[in-house]
Amino acid sequence: DTAVSQTPKYLVTQMGNDKSIKCEQNLGHDTMYWYKQDSKKFLKIMFSYNNKELIINETVPNRFSPKSPDKAHLNLHINSLELGDSAVYFCASSYGHSNTEAFFGQGTRLTVV
Amino acid sequence: GENVEQHPSTLSVQEGDSAVIKCTYSDSASNYFPWYKQELGKRPQLIIDIRSNVGEKKDQRIAVTLNKTAKHFSLHITETQPEDSAVYFCAAFKAAGNKLTFGGGTRVLVKP
């Protein structure tokens, strides 16, 4: 009964490939996020979705395309992977318009070789 | 947009001593300030939070203070223990835009 689950946990792939990371939450939250955590541990927001609608796109390259089929799912597809995309990607969810905790998934460590 | 600055980036303390981490934010519309702890290889998890209508909140050995006028907030950990060693993140949330912005993190090491 994991609250926010991401798959896969580890992903190793070659430059130029296309890959997807899936995220699902069972908390009934209306807002989901994708964050990128680089080697220096900085947590940078990439996208925010509220009720399946894109709210925030933080100047992320258009090789990254989020998709939210319903408010419980937010998947991240990455085209033409580059070395600099190597990082840990965290999905999170919360109640968007109230001041409440955001819950994080366990993270996906993406390594591009 | 919101900018959250966090200091120090690393903090080494002796077990039993106190640790203080400070954050500033730029957007006065932010009204919710959570603190997350991230252990090595794990996900960030909430340890305490404070809302803009409150100046101070305490939960056992951890406390957070908020100064809305100066736009800064701080985390205080007393009687530190080795299991407090982790990376701590402050964050600021603004309901308009559904945006939770994190500070750069503080790596805390508690030496036994």
Q: Give the tens place of pLDDT for each residue, A26-78.
A: 999 999 999 999 988 889 999 989 888 888 777 789 999 999 999 899 999 99
3-state helix, strand, coil in chain A (%, to 5): 5, 55, 40
Mutate to test the interface with A, among B36, B52, B100, B106 (most CBs of A within 10 A): B100
Q: Do B102 and A45 touch (CB under 8 A)?
A: yes
Per-residue pLDDT, A1? 61
- Give the integer Cα–Cα distance in Å for A63 and A69: 19
Taking 50 as the pLDDT cut, the residues of chain B under it are: none
Per-residue pLDDT, B1? 77
Per-residue pLDDT, A97? 67
Give the rounded distance of the alpha carbon of B34 from its chain centre. Answer: 7
Kindly compute the dihedral angle of the four CA atoms of residues A86, A18, A26, B2, in this order, to the nearest 10 degrees: 50
| 3-state DSSP assignment of residue B83 | helix
Q: Give the tens place of pLDDT for each residue, B63-72.
A: 999 999 999 9
Q: Which candidate from A96, A101, A106 shows the least CB-CB separation from B46?
A: A101
Q: Which candidate from B49, B97, B105 shows the least CB-CB separation from A42?
A: B105
